[in-house]
Amino acid sequence: MSNVRSAQTDKVRFFGNTTPQELAAQYGTPLYVYNEDVLRRRCRELLSLSSLPGFHVNYSAKANTNLALLRIVREEGCHADAMSPGELHINKLAGFTPDRLLYVCNNVSAEEMKNAADNGLIVSVDSLSQLDQYGKVNPGGKVMTRINPGIGAGHHKKVITAGKETKFGIDPTSLDEVRALLKKHSLTLAGVNQHIGSLFMEPDNYLNAIEFLLHFVQSDLADLLPGIEIIDFGGGLGIPYRKYEEEPRLDMAELGRRLHALLSAWVEETGYKGKFFIEPGRYVVAECGVLLGTVHATKFNGENRYVGTDLGFNVLVRPAMYDSFHDIEIFRDGGEPDTDLVEQSIVGNICESGDILAKKRMLPLIKEGDIVSIDVGAFYEGFHGDNAWTFPCGKVSEEAQKLMDATRESLFLAIEKAVPGNRIGDIGSAVQQYVEARNYSVVREFVGHGVGAKLHEDPSVPNYGTPGRGVRLLPGMTIAIEPMVTQGSCEVKILKDGWTTVTKDGKLAAHFEHSIAITPDGPVILTSLD
C-alpha cells in the first residue's frame, strides 16, 4: 500500500485482503472494523495463563458488547460478566448460559438484583446496604461480595477501582457486619471478588492483590471457605496504546508462570475445589478493533493546525473522558509516503471544545479526504442497522452542494411519510416528486429495504412510486430509506470490484440513508448520532 504511517495494522495484516479505503467506500465512516483472528488469539492467551481445572476467564462485557464478538468469546471457552440488565440480555443472546455468567453490579436497584437472581446468576454486591437489599429479594440464596483490597493500579485516577479514594468494594474490616447480614437473610457466601484498576503493564500490583485476596479468604473467611465457589481477582490487564513509540507489552508468559504457581500452591495448602476467575475486558477486545473515520476539513487557528473528522466523542468517548491515548494511522491512495511529521490536533464534529481525539500530535501531514484509523474497541449497536451519508471532501462546487442538499432533504421528507397506515408508495413518491422537481433523477436499480434480524429484509422501499400503493406500514416495522439521486441520467454501472457504483454518464450522484422504526407516535430515526 502507498499509505501513510500504516505499519502497525500492516504488520499484523489487520485488514486482510482489503484496505481501509475500500471498507470506508463500501460501508461509510465512522466505521468499526474487527479482526477475528486477533480476538481469538487474545482469548487463548488468557485461557493459557493457568492449567488448573478451576481457572476461568470471565470476559467483562462492558468493554464491548458487540454480539458477534461476544459469540466468538463464548466459542473460545470464556465466561462473561454482566453489570446491567442490558448486558445480561446481550450475553444471553450470544449463547452464554447462567453457569457461564456472573452478575457484578454497583449501586443498582433491588429489582435489578432480583432479575439477575431469577435468571440463575450469582450476584456480587458492592456494599453492606446492597447486601441487605439483596437478602430481602433473594432470602436463602447465594451471593458474592466485592472486597476493597486497598491496592489500586491504573493509568488514570478515574480507572483506579480500589483503595480509600474509590467508591468500590466492602472494607475487609467490616466482616462482622457481612456475617450478620448473611445470617439475617439466610444467605450463603458463594464467592468474593475484587478489581484494582485498569491498564497496568506490569504484573506486580495485580499479583500482590491476588495474594492479598487469597490470604484474606484463607484467614478471615476460614469458617466460610467450605461454601465459597468462586474467587474472582478482577481484570485490568493492559495493552500498549503507543505502539509507534515501542511501548512494551505486558509480559503474559511471566504473569502466567507466577499466577499459576501462586494458585497451585494455595490450592494444595487449602484443599480449595472451587473456581478462580480473572475478569479481563480491554485485553480481550481492544486490539481486535480499529475505528475508521474520514478527514473532512483542515485549518489553522493561529499556529495550531486542526484536522476535522467525523469521529466525534459520540463515536469514541475515551479521549474526552479519560485523556486516553490512541495510535493514529493515516491511509491515502497514491503518491509517496510522507516522512516529515507535523504537529496537529485531530478533532471530531461535535460542537464541544472537548471533542478532541488527539491533541498536538506529531503526525504526517493529514489532508482532506484521508482515511483516519484509530486503534480502539467499540460499543454494541443492537440489531442490524443501515446508514449512509454523503460528505463533501473539502470545498465542493455549488452544483455538488445543491445535489447533496436536495438528496438529504428528500430523505427527511420520505421519513415524514413513514407512519402507520401509509404505504411504501407514499415514501417513494415523496422522494421522487421532490428531486425530479429540481431536475434530478432517482436511481432505480438500488432501493431501500426492511432491516432487522438481517441487514436486508422485505419489504423493498423504492425511491419512486405512487401514493397509496404498496405494502402498508405497521407499528413495529423497521425499514431503511435511502434516496440515491443523480445530476443526469438515472442509469448506473457497477465497477470491476463488484461494489463501487458510478453513474453511466459520469455525472455526480448523492446518497443518504437512515434506518427508521415505525411507531404509533410517528417515525423514529435509529441511526442518528445526535
Question: Closest Cα partner for 385 from 480, 468, 299, 292?
Answer: 480
CA torsion sign for 71, 72, 75, 79 is negative
CA torsion sign for 470, 473, 476, 481 is positive
Chain center to CA of 507: 38
- Give the pairing of strands 275-278 and 230-232: parallel
Strand partners, 480: 449, 515
- 3 state DSSP class of 375: strand
Which one of 43, 351, 393, 490 is the catalytic residue? 351
End-to-end CA distance of the chain: 35
Dihedral, 438, 439, 440, 443 alpha carbons, nearest 10 = 120
Active site residue 288: no
CA angle in degrees (0–180, nearest 5) for 500-405-27: 30
Cell digits of residue 303: 499556529
Strand partners, 364: 341
Task: Give the neighbor-by-neighbor strand order of the sheet with 441-442.
Answer: 441-442, 484-486, 509-511
From residue 525, alpha-carbon distances to 418, 430, 471 in Å are 10, 17, 20
Question: Closest Cα partner for 443 from 488, 412, 390, 399?
Answer: 488
Count of Cβ atoms closer than 10 Å to residue 70 Cβ: 25
Chain center to CA of 254: 29
Q: Of all residues in the chain, what percent are helix, strand and coil, respectively (each to 5)? A: 30, 25, 45
Residues ≥6 apart with Cβ < 8 Å to 265: none
Question: Which residues does the annotation mark as catalytic?
Answer: 351
